[in-house]
Structure 1
Amino acid sequence: MNLWQKLVTIAIAAATNFGLRYLPFGFFKGNRVTPFIKGLGNFLPPAIMSMLVVYCFRNVNWLGASHGLPEIIAGLVTAGLHLWRGQIFLSLLGGTACYILLINFIF
């Protein structure tokens, strides 16, 4: 690609990125209540969290030597920390640290 084609490509990518980020604000401006968006706001967070849990446990070898215990314990630590403190970063950090310690030193 020559310089002109590179500049045009960057301009198109920038305009598309800006347009996609502006679109929701332009479409839903004002204080009007949109039932569809409100319904998505109630439905999507639990659905996304459920998908993430399934994704995390998808490759666990339940018949292996540890029978998935490190993953289960780390998942319970993550859920417990989140229920106890309600801080996402603490939950993620604590669950990850627990898993790393379990697989390196216990299992």
Structure 2
Amino acid sequence: MTFNQIAITIAAMALGTMLTRFLPFILFPANKPTPQYVNYLGQILPYSVMALMVVYTLKDVSLVARPWGLPEIIALAYIAVVQVIKRNNLLSMISGTILYMFLVQVVF
């Protein structure tokens, strides 16, 4: 890359970063109430993202070949139980990932 291309790339990345950081404060100032649709999206999107993550994770699981999806089923059941008991998304995802990796690398 030439010097001009590098400078333009760095400027574009800096502008993009600044835009994503400052735009929410410009669109939603502190002295105005947050629009209802933003509140709605804030409530719905985390569950939608989690559902997409589950579908993406399970899309290539084979239930007809060994280990018949057992690591995935065990890890999903564990995540569901931890989520119901603790109500902590981060704890559920991290501990479920650790359990899944243990099952795949050591047990199955």
Query: What TM-score results when the alignment is normalised by the length of structure 2?
Result: 0.82
Question: 1: CA distance between counterparts of 2:84 and 2:39?
Answer: 25
Shift of 1:88: 3.3
1:104 alignment counterpart: 105
2:2 alignment counterpart: 2
Root mean square deviation, CA, Å: 1.9
Specify the SS of the correspondent of 2:40: helix
Identify the range of structure 1 (4-13 vs 20-29) with the bigger mean alpha-carbon deviation.
Answer: 4-13
Specify the SS of the correspondent of 1:59: coil
Shift of 1:87: 3.0
Shift of 1:33: 3.0
Aligned length: 107
Identify the range of structure 1 (68-77 vs 88-97) with the bigger mean alpha-carbon deviation.
Answer: 88-97
Specify the SS of the correspondent of 2:67: coil
Return closer, same or farther for 1:2/1:66 CA change in 2, 3 Å cut-off. closer
Paired residue type of 1:59:
D
2:55 alignment counterpart: 54
Q: In the TM superposition, what are the counterparts of 1:24-35 in structure 2 within 5 Å?
A: 24-29=24-29, 30-35=31-36
Shift of 1:75: 0.9
Paired residue type of 1:71:
E
| Structure 2 residues not aligned, in runs of 5+ | none
Question: 1: CA distance between counterparts of 2:98 and 2:20?
Answer: 37
Question: 2: CA distance between counterparts of 1:92 and 1:99?
Answer: 10
Q: In the TM superposition, what are the counterparts of 1:1-107 in structure 2 within 5 Å?
A: 1-29=1-29, 30-107=31-108
User: Identity across aligned pairs (percent)?
Assistant: 33
Paired residue type of 1:13:
M
| Structure 1 residues not aligned, in runs of 5+ | none
